[in-house]
Amino acid sequence: MERNETEMMLKGYGLTTAEFYYRMPDFRNVLNSFIWQDYDLAPDYPRLFGFIEFWQAQIEGPLHSVRFTHRKLISPGEWRNVQGEFHLH
């Protein structure tokens, strides 16, 4: 499924970045980090929580913690349709 990023942002999606800290399967005292980024809807974050569920079900390294941030890049009120264009020189 191909997604048009501009259309998604106009529908309220924002860029969500998460940093996952997880333990190595063979070395439980070692923490590793993984960065994940996708467009998601706040405040429910269905894609982020879907990825967390996938991680817990499919990946051997147990999660230690997750930090994330969400930023709307544009909103419908900031979008305007330009009807003309002026050229100087």
Beta-carbon-side half-sphere exposure of residue 16 (alpha carbons within 13 Å)? 21
Q: What is the pLDDT of residues 30-81, one digit of tens each?
A: 999 999 999 999 999 999 999 999 999 999 999 999 999 999 877 556 666 6
Q: What distance separates the 2 farthest-apart alpha carbons in the chain?
A: 67
Domain range summary for the chain, segments of one domain joined by +: 5-76
pTM of the model: 0.76
Phi-psi region of 45 (alpha: psi -120 to 50; beta: other; left: phi over 0): left
